[in-house]
Amino acid sequence: MRRNFAKAYLLLSPSLFWLTLFLVIPVLFIGVISFTTNGDFGAIIYEFSTEAYTSAFSSLYAKVIWQSIWWAFIATVVCLIIAYPFAYFIAHSGKWKNLLLLLVMVPFWTNLLIRLYAWIILMNNQGVINNVLLDLGFIEEPLALMYSPGGVILGLVYGFLPFMILPIYSSIEQLDKTYLEASEDLGAGPVKTFLNVTLPLTFPGILAGFIITFVPAISVFVVTDLFTGGKLLMVGNVIRDAFLVEMNWQLGAALSLLLMILVLLSLMIFMRFTSRKDRKLLV
């Protein structure tokens, strides 16, 4: 037994090395910095202090963190609602499959900034959508498509939709079609087959899509920057500003750690609602 463990660690050592170098050590740095004292012009004075946490827990920042999680959650749910039928359609589109997948992948490969600028042209108060609606007489004055929580969520959905579509698509694609035939054979029509067989068997794809959409969506700051000009904040904006604008590395580090803990907690809560088997299928 002992020798087997040694062998396992030996085989794992390359990945353990990279994980230590690029994950554990940086997180430790952040942890240490968050407990130091803030000096003039952002200097780090190595004296123990919990000041960063005191301000991080203040209602102002707590509200931003909560808001980020909430917006990211809504955006993820909207992504899921759009992505599932979309992925289902692609998986059943026969010879068009590859073309449709390419159409999903192209924005995925394009920089988010560029894609968001394109949306600004559309959604601006003087943008295409408002102008068309005004000209057609549907509205009297421009709609506030941007500069609103709705705009932020729209930006998040748009930015992260491919992350949701791809894992769901792959789980639908890999679903053995004979399960569906077996279900029909046993008297289940298309709706019952979908609810009883397709949906539970593609759940690992939904779970994977949910996690890889939700986690980065919480901390993204370009959407709020571009769509609200910094009027609305997500925790990503606050952390960036703490590091780069206020030169308060301690606060940035504390917020980063808090965010990490909150994300892990929310994933754990999410996992609670999923059966053990589904998680096993995912890994």
Partner 1 sequence: MLGVQMVQLENVMKQFDDTYVVDDLNLDIKSGEFLTLLGPSGCGKTTTLRMIAGFEKPTSGKILLNGKQVDELEPYKREVNTVFQSYSLFPHMTVFDNVAFGLKMKKVPKEEIQERVTKALKLVQLEEYGNRKPKQLSGGQQQRIAIARAIVNNPKVLLLDEPLGALDLKLRKQMQLELKHLQQTLNITFIYVTHDQEEALTMSDRIVVMNKGKIEQIGLPYEIYERPQTRFVADFIGQTNILEGTVTAINGEQATMKFADQVVEIPNTTDVTLNEEVYISVRPEKIKLSETPFEGSINLKGTFKEKIYVGSVTKIVVTMANGQDITVNESHDKIDELTNTNDVYVSWSPKNSVVLKK
Residue of 95, 140, 176, 245 interacting with partner 1 (CB under 8 A): 176
| Least CB distance to partner 1 at residue 272 (A) | 18
Residue 45: its H or E element: strand 44-45
Q: Per-residue x/- marks for partner 1, 199-228, CB under 8 A?
A: -xx---------------------------
| Least CB distance to partner 1 at residue 75 (A) | 28
User: Is residue 175 near partner 1 by the rule CB under 8 A?
Assistant: no
| Least CB distance to partner 1 at residue 181 (A) | 6
| Least CB distance to partner 1 at residue 178 (A) | 4
| Least CB distance to partner 1 at residue 142 (A) | 50
220 vs 74: CA distance, rounded Å? 14
Name the amino acid, one letter, at 278: D
The residues with which 37 forms a beta bridge, in sequence order, are 45
Residue of 2, 4, 189, 283 interacting with partner 1 (CB under 8 A): 189
Residue of 20, 181, 261, 265 interacting with partner 1 (CB under 8 A): 181
CB neighbour list of residue 124: distance below 8 Å, 6 or more residues apart:
130, 145, 146
User: Is residue 118 near partner 1 by the rule CB under 8 A?
Assistant: no
Residue of 36, 76, 183, 237 interacting with partner 1 (CB under 8 A): 183
User: Is residue 179 near partner 1 by the rule CB under 8 A?
Assistant: yes
130 vs 36: CA distance, rounded Å? 50
User: Is residue 279 near partner 1 by the rule CB under 8 A?
Assistant: no
CB 120 within 8 A of CB 158: no
Instruction: Give CA torsion, residues 170, 171, 172, 174, to 10 deg.
Output: 80
DSSP, collapsed to helix, strand or coil, labels residue 44 as: strand
14 vs 113: CA distance, rounded Å? 35
195 vs 14: CA distance, rounded Å? 43
With respect to partner 1, which residue has the nearer C-beta, 184 or 241?
A: 184
Q: Per-residue x/- marks for partner 1, 123-162, CB under 8 A?
A: ----------------------------------------
State the Rg of the chain over Cα.
23
**CA 61 to centroid of chain Cα atoms:** 20
With respect to partner 1, which residue has the nearer C-beta, 59 or 178?
A: 178
Residue of 188, 215, 247, 262 interacting with partner 1 (CB under 8 A): 188
Listed as own residue / partner, the contacts of 93-101 with beta carbons closer than 8 Å and 24 or more positions apart are 101/169
Question: Looking at 3-94, which runs of residues are DSSP E strands?
Answer: 37-38, 44-45
Size of the site for partner 1 (CB under 8 A): 19
User: Is residue 195 near partner 1 by the rule CB under 8 A?
Assistant: no
DSSP, collapsed to helix, strand or coil, labels residue 49 as: coil
| Least CB distance to partner 1 at residue 180 (A) | 9
| Interface residue list for partner 1 (CB under 8 A) | 176, 178-179, 181-189, 192-193, 196-197, 200-201, 277
